[in-house]
Structure 1
Amino acid sequence: MFVVLLTYTAPLDAVDRHVPAHRQFLERQYAAGVFLLSGRKEPRDGGVILATAASRAQLDAVLAQDPFMLHGIADYQVLEFHPTMGAPAVNGWLEG
């Protein structure tokens, strides 16, 4: 599982111009089962995505399609972790 931290590298007016395309990208990844949760950070200087991908390489390929990345709107930090405990609602995401 992965946590993706986005940090905006452009002013918010530039970010806002690309939000509709970014949301369409997110919707495609939810439909494909790659993304589990996403949302903006507070203060609004970026966002967070919780992803489940087969590999870091697969996730990197997916993120390369994000309009924010394509237009240089955000930097991405990817943290991989292996969940071993969780609330009952997310137990299906746990690894051994």
Structure 2
Amino acid sequence: MFVMELTYTAPIEDVDEHLDAHVAWLDGHYAAGTFLASGRKVPRDGGVIIATGMSRAEIERVAQGDPFVLAGVCAYRITEFIATKTSASLAAARETLPT
């Protein structure tokens, strides 16, 4: 599983110009089952996405396809973790430690 942390690298007005395209990109990854949760950080200097079901290389390619990245208004920091405990609603995404 991955925590994809976005940090805006441009003024918020520039970010907002690409928000509709970014939301459509998010929707596509929700429909594919890759994204589990996402939202703005507080204060609004970026966002966070929780993703699953891909390798690190694949998730890095996904991030590079974000319209925010293509427009040069954000940068990603991606952290991989093994979700061995989850709420009941995320049980399908639960992982086991490698042996």
Matched residue, 2:47: 47
| Deviation of 1:53 (Å) | 3.1
Which structure 1 segments of 5+ residues have no match? none
1:37 and 1:49 in contact (8 A); partners too: yes
1:9 maps to a residue whose letter is T
1:5 and 1:77 in contact (8 A); partners too: yes
Which structure 2 segments of 5+ residues have no match? none
Matched residue, 2:79: 79
Overall identity of the aligned pairs, in %? 50
CA distance 1:92–1:53, change in 2 (3 Å)? closer
2:35 maps to a residue whose letter is F
| Deviation of 1:90 (Å) | 1.4
Matched residue, 2:20: 20
How many Å separate the matches in 1 of 2:54 and 2:4? 15
Secondary structure of residue in 2 paired with 1:43: coil
Quick check: 59-68 or 9-18, which moved more?
A: 59-68
TM-score, length-normalised on structure 2?
Answer: 0.92
User: CA RMSD of the aligned region, Å?
Assistant: 0.9
1:53 and 1:59 in contact (8 A); partners too: no
How many Å separate the matches in 1 of 2:54 and 2:43? 31
